[in-house]
Amino acid sequence: MPRVPIYMDNHATTRTDARVVEAMLPCFGENFGNANSVHVFGQRAAEAVDQARAQVAALIGAEPREIVFTSGATESNNLAIKGAAAMYRRQGNHIVTTRIEHRAVLDPCRRLERLGYHVTYVPVDRFGQVSVRDIAEAITPETILVSVMLANNEVGTLQPVADIGKICRARQVLLHTDATQAVGKLPVAVDALNVDLLSISAHKMYGPKGIGGLYVRRRVRLEPMFDGGGHERGMRSGTLAVPNIVGFGTACALCQREMVQDRDRCQELRDRLHDGLVNAIDDCTLNGHPNERLPGNLNMSFANVHGEALLMGLKNVAVSSGSACTSASVEPSYVLRAMGVSDELALASIRFGIGRFNTVEEIDFTIEECQRVVNRLRAISPSAQLVGVK
C-alpha cells in the first residue's frame, strides 16, 4: 500500500521540488541582499534575479526583459486586464473573454464593468472549448483586449489560443492568456501563440507560492496596479522577492528540461486512472475534451453520488470537487455548467490532478478507494437504489 494520504490535487498547487528549495536556501542566508542596491550584496542578488528571469523567459520563448515578476497568477491577470484597460481606454472600452476563465480573470472583468467597460463572455462547447469564430464575432471596433485561458483549471481543456491570436493581430487587439495551468506542463511559446500578455504562477509547476510572472510583449504598455519604486520597468513596484524568484526560475529550468518525461508519465498515469475507474465503477463519465486536455487532468462525474460526500469519503486521497478556488461554495461548478453538464452531474464531479510525484501504486490505490466509497454512497442514496445502480 502506498504512503497515505496521497496528494492528487496538482491543479490546486504542487509540492515544491526539493531541487527548487535547495536553490532558494542561499537567498535566505549569504545572498540576502536587495536586488536594487548598488553594493556587492545587492549586485549578487541582482545576478540571481537576472538568471531566474532568463530561466522563466526561456521556458516560454520570451526575452528576459519581457518578464514582470508578480505575486502569482491572480496578480498577473489583474495587471494584464486592468492595466491594459486603463492604458488603452481612449482606444475603446470593450473586452472579450470566455465563461470558463478562472475567477482571477472574471472578477477583474466584473470590476471593469462596474467602471463603465463592456465585457463579452463567450460561451464554450460541451468539451469546454471556445470557438475561434465566436471570439472573432465578439470583437468590435471598441475592443481593446481579448483574454482566453490556455488550459482550464477544472477540466484541463486546451483552448485554440494561437488561432485566436492570429485574429487579434489582424484586428489590432491585444491578446492575454492565463497560462497558469499549462506552463511547465506543455510547450508554450509566446510567438507561436501570438499573445501579447501571458500569466504564469510558480506554485502550479513545483515552485514556491507567492511568486509568478506576467509576460508583456515589447511595446505593450500597462497602467501599474500600484505606485512605488518603479521596479519591473515601472509595471510592478516593490522590492523583489529574491528567494521566490530564484525558486521560480529553477522550477522553470527543471520543467523545461524534464517536460517530455513529466508529460508522458502524467498522461500514462491519468489514462490508467481513467480506465481503472471506468472499469470498476458504473456510470462515471469524463468531463472535458477527450484529447485536447492537460496531461495530468482527469475530471469525472459519478452519477448519483454527491462530489462533496465522495471527497469526504476519500480520506486517504486529496482531490477536489470543482475548482479548489471555489470549493468554499456548494454551487455546481460554473465551468461544468457552461459546458452544459447538468447540475446533478456537476455536483457529482471530482477533479484529479496528477503530477510529477505521483506513482502507479497511488493510482491503483485511488481506483480501489473510489470504487469502495462510490459503492457505499450509492447503496445509501435513494436515487441510486431507484435506478438499481450498484
Ligand X SMILES: Cc1ncc(COP(=O)(O)O)c(C=O)c1O
Please, which residue, 74 or 358, has the CB nearer to ligand X?
74
Binding of ligand X by 262 (CB under 6 A): no
How many other C-beta atoms lie within 10 A of the C-beta of residue 155?
Answer: 29
d(CA 52, CA 56): 6
Contact in structure between 196 and 166 (CB atoms under 8 Å): no
Catalytic residues: 325
Please, which residue, 73 or 305, has the CB nearer to ligand X?
73
Contact in structure between 346 and 326 (CB atoms under 8 Å): no
Contact in structure between 135 and 148 (CB atoms under 8 Å): yes
Please, which residue, 203 or 378, has the CB nearer to ligand X?
203
Nearest-approach distance from CB 373 to ligand X, in angstroms:
25
Element (H, E) at 238: none
Contact in structure between 255 and 184 (CB atoms under 8 Å): yes
Nearest-approach distance from CB 11 to ligand X, in angstroms:
6
Binders of ligand X in range 275-334 (CB under 6 A): 325
* Site pattern 60..99 for ligand X (x: CB under 6 A): ------------xxx-------------------------
Binding of ligand X by 181 (CB under 6 A): yes
Query: Cell for 335?
Result: 465551468
| Number of residues binding to ligand X, judged by CB under 6 A | 13
Torsion of CA 233, 235, 241, 247, to 10 degrees: -80
Distance between alpha carbon 195 and the CA centroid of its chain, in Å?
Answer: 16
* Site pattern 106..145 for ligand X (x: CB under 6 A): ----------------------------------------
Residue of closest CB approach to ligand X: 72
Q: Which stretch in 133-141, 174-182, 278-286, 367-375 sits in contact with ligand X by CB under 6 A?
A: 174-182
* Residues constituting the chain: 390
Please, which residue, 309 or 311, has the CB nearer to ligand X?
311
Task: Give the strand order in the sheet containing 212-216.
Answer: 67-70, 212-216, 197-201, 174-178, 143-147, 94-98, 118-122
Binders of ligand X in range 16-55 (CB under 6 A): none
d(CA 322, CA 210): 23
Nearest-approach distance from CB 69 to ligand X, in angstroms:
12
CA 129 to each of CA 191, 200, 281: distance values in angstroms, whole numbers, following the listed order: 22, 21, 27
* Site pattern 327..366 for ligand X (x: CB under 6 A): ----------------------------------------
Q: Which stretch in 134-142, 173-181, 261-269, 365-373 sits in contact with ligand X by CB under 6 A?
A: 173-181
Binding of ligand X by 178 (CB under 6 A): yes
Please, which residue, 212 or 313, has the CB nearer to ligand X?
212
Contact in structure between 197 and 220 (CB atoms under 8 Å): yes
Nearest-approach distance from CB 150 to ligand X, in angstroms:
8
Binders of ligand X in range 138-157 (CB under 6 A): 149, 153
The two beta strands, 197-201 and 174-178, are parallel
Instruction: Spell out the residues 6+ positions from residue 44 whose beta carbon is closer than 8 angstroms to its own.
Output: 31, 33
Neighbouring-strand partners of residue 197: 176, 216
- Burial per residue of 275-302, b for 16 or more beta-carbon CB atoms within 10 angstroms, e otherwise: ebbeeebebbebbbbeeebbbbbbbbbb
Out of 156, 208, 212, 288, point to the residue binding ligand X (CB under 6 A): 212
Nearest-approach distance from CB 340 to ligand X, in angstroms:
21
Nearest-approach distance from CB 386 to ligand X, in angstroms:
37
Q: Which stretch in 128-136, 176-184, 253-261, 347-355 sits in contact with ligand X by CB under 6 A?
A: 176-184
Please, which residue, 12 or 85, has the CB nearer to ligand X?
12
Instruction: Note the residues at the interface with ligand X (CB under 6 A).
Output: 72-74, 102, 104, 149, 153, 178, 180-181, 201, 212, 325
